[in-house]
Amino acid sequence: MKIKLNKNIRMKHSLLLILLLSLASISSAKLKSDTLKNKKRPKIGLVLSGGGAKGFAHVGVLKVIDELEIPIDYIAGTSMGSIIGGFYSIGYSADQIEEMILSQNWDKLLADEISRKYVPFHEKQNYERHVLSFPIKPKGIQLPSGIVSGQNVINLFERLSIDYHDVNNFKNLPIPFVCVATDIETGEAVILDKGYLPEAMRASMAIPTVFSPIEIDGRLLVDGGMVNNFPVKEVVDMGADIVIGVDVQSGPKSKEELNSFLDIINQTVSLMALNEFKKNIDFVDVYIKPDINNYSVGSFNEADSLIRKGEEIGRKYIPELKELKEKYQLKKKKIKKYKPPVDSTTYYVKNIEFEGLNEVSKSLLAGKLNLDTPGEVSLHQLKKGINRSFGSRYFDNVDFKLVGNKTKSLQVRVKERTTKRFNVGLRYDSDNKAGVLLNTTFRNKLRSGSHLSFDLKLAENPRFVTTYAIDNGLKPGITIQAEYNDWQVDGFEDGKKIGNYDLDYYKLDVNTHSILRESYSVGIGAKAEYYNLQSNYSLPDVELEGTDDYFFSYYAFLRIDSHEKAYYPKKGVSLYGEYKLVTNNGARLDGMERPASIAYLKFQKAISISPTFTVYPKAYARVVWGKSIPDFFKTYTGGIDQTDYFDIQMPFVGLERMEMNSNNSFIFRTDFQYELFRNNYLIFKANFGRLSDDINRSFESGEWIRGVALTYSYNSLIGPMEFSLMYSNKKDKVLNYVSLGYWF
């Protein structure tokens, strides 16, 4: 009986204990539920690594994040991650960033290439003829701090973030943002969370030796990937509770995989930041790594494929991201979608402030900007003004900042280009053989806006030219040029080479000219020329043996050049027209009552039929009239291209250089250019012409000539590389012609 009672007591105690535990569990669950309701949701941080062009994969992941409406509270990025993250932080959607990336010409953007229409007229001929250019400083010739200055990159950032130029603290952006750079002097990581957003992004992606460093607050900054390519700690310090990290680094490569300049640079950066990466990865909650090992840091022309790869890996993480969203009841906060400006967007600019001017005058820079302030300024006008300023060659960088609310103050900051430069050109062609061009250029000598240059061509046919020019736009400017040429010219008879002669040529040329919109120039001038010819034979119908003479010419000219690039343009027109009077005593030619007259025309137009097919109609004409025309001023036809050494040569494919001579020459030519693949061209050239000695009976007594050529060309980093086969009705064989490098 006693045992039974004890059992009943124990059962009652057990039931009571179970009841108490149940009540405690219910109470605890209710308390946790109430606590969860009262607790704020966890903050989500996004980390985007560096990786050059591979960083485009970030955009694909962001597209998935946007689609799932995952809220992002903080962003940290390095290098390309800082660029994608920076734009995302000010309200760009992933789709908008994708559109921006795919609309860029990355070759031009990264090479600081601008259209030649923004280059001053006197610079157009020199713009694409040097392979190397070095500043001359007090300690001598120095290498540049980077292959490119990043002018186009920062201008793009400035235009696309123009409504946030006033935000100095990146915590005040729609999504708080930081990026990482490296102090190249100390090797320390620099956290950029304040300042000027475009400048911070540009500093974070300044790959050493490729992009020039950026100075911010007295520190010289380069790519942050050198010390911290995956800034997780930085986003945690901002307040992130949960971290989503997207890593596009390739990791260290084997020696067999290091095959290019960019591979070596990327490997160097990866190794330096490897230890920091290992520490950071432990704090990542969702680690996303796209499969992009087959791409390189330089795969900028494969942006669409990289974005697609990012989206593919992002979709594999949809279940994990959805679970995160549901677990913490995440709701995306409303961020005003950024509306990027377009060319027609206008701003009321009350004044312009200049920073960085020392040797260049404010008036010169203001004239290049050509903005009417105070007043409305469109983004298109501003972009053209910045391009004209940079194209002037007086600056290594020209960037801008618009500050203010309804009325804006435009701050234009420049880094003056070293006024003394040493330039090198390299060239080989079948006519002139190998040559090296050594050029020294000095700017702002005697007065602002001037340039003084010395050209020395080292070759079988040496040449020396010195030029001093002052350009004043529409106001008349002046050019003074002295030149010496030592030239070997071949002589032909019935299409066969019969010898050559040595021509020494001296020239002093002075002209005054006006320039309109960088593409049109008109002027008048005078020049004195001396010819000395030595030969052991006489050319057919031309007595040139051991002759020399002085000549004085007076001329007027019109020049147009609106091609967007010097080689393989796809739009624009070039024209040079000149009329001159030739004398040998200042007023007339001996034995004549008046000077000889020479009219000259060269014309070309680029017509783009499609992105890969361009047609170039061309016309050349040179007419000489008067009695006793000096043989030095006759017209010599032949040669695949036209040099600027003498104005007596007319190009004609199918003939050797200067093969036929006459008083008058009319040539019509069309080039059909097809771009087989990037920078590789196949060009068919066809021309015909009429040569004569009597201008009044040119089409009765003259001679018709015809010729064709087929050219394969590769536009390399050191200039065009071309191989041509050509034929004409004046030759009984197919000629070949090889050309390597820029013309000079």
Active site residue 79: yes
**Surface-to-core class of residue 113, CB atoms within 10 Å of its CB (0-12 exposed, 13-18 middle, 19+ buried):** middle
Residue with tokens 């501003």: 382
Strand order through the sheet with 660-662: 649-650, 635-637, 660-662
The three-class DSSP label of residue 184 is: coil
Q: How far apart are CA 199 and CA 219, in angstroms?
A: 13
Count of CB atoms situated within 10 Å of the CB of 334: 8
Of 423, 494, 435, 439, residue with least CA distance to 643: 435
Give the phi and the psi of residue 268 in degrees, each rounded to 5.
Answer: -60, -45
Radius of gyration (Cα) for the chain, nearest Å? 35
- 309 three-state secondary structure: helix
- 421 phi, psi to nearest 5 deg: -140, 150
> Tokens standing for 664?
């008058």
Torsion of CA 367, 370, 374, 378, to 10 degrees: -160
Taking the C-alpha atoms of 158, 164, 166 and 167 in order, what is their torsion angle to the nearest 10 degrees? Answer: -120
CA distance 680 to 131: 19
136 three-class SS = strand
Does an H or E element contain 483, and which? strand 475-493
Determine contact, residues 391/120, Cβ cutoff 8 Å.
yes
Q: No. of H helices and E strands in the chain? A: 15, 36
Q: List the catalytic residue out of 49, 73, 79, 574.
A: 79
Active site includes 504? no
Q: Cα 367 to the chain's mean position, in Å?
A: 23
Q: In the beta sheet, which residues pair with residue 673?
A: 614, 683
Pairing outcome for strands 607-610 and 613-625: antiparallel
Whole-Å CA distances, 463 to 503, 505, 632, 633:
12, 9, 19, 20
CB 129 within 8 A of CB 331: no
Question: What ranges in 246-341 are assigned the alpha helix state H?
Answer: 261-280, 303-316, 318-327
Catalytic one among 73, 183, 223, 561?
223
Give the Cα separation of 54 and 417 in Å (integer).
32
Which residues belong to the active site?
A: 79, 223
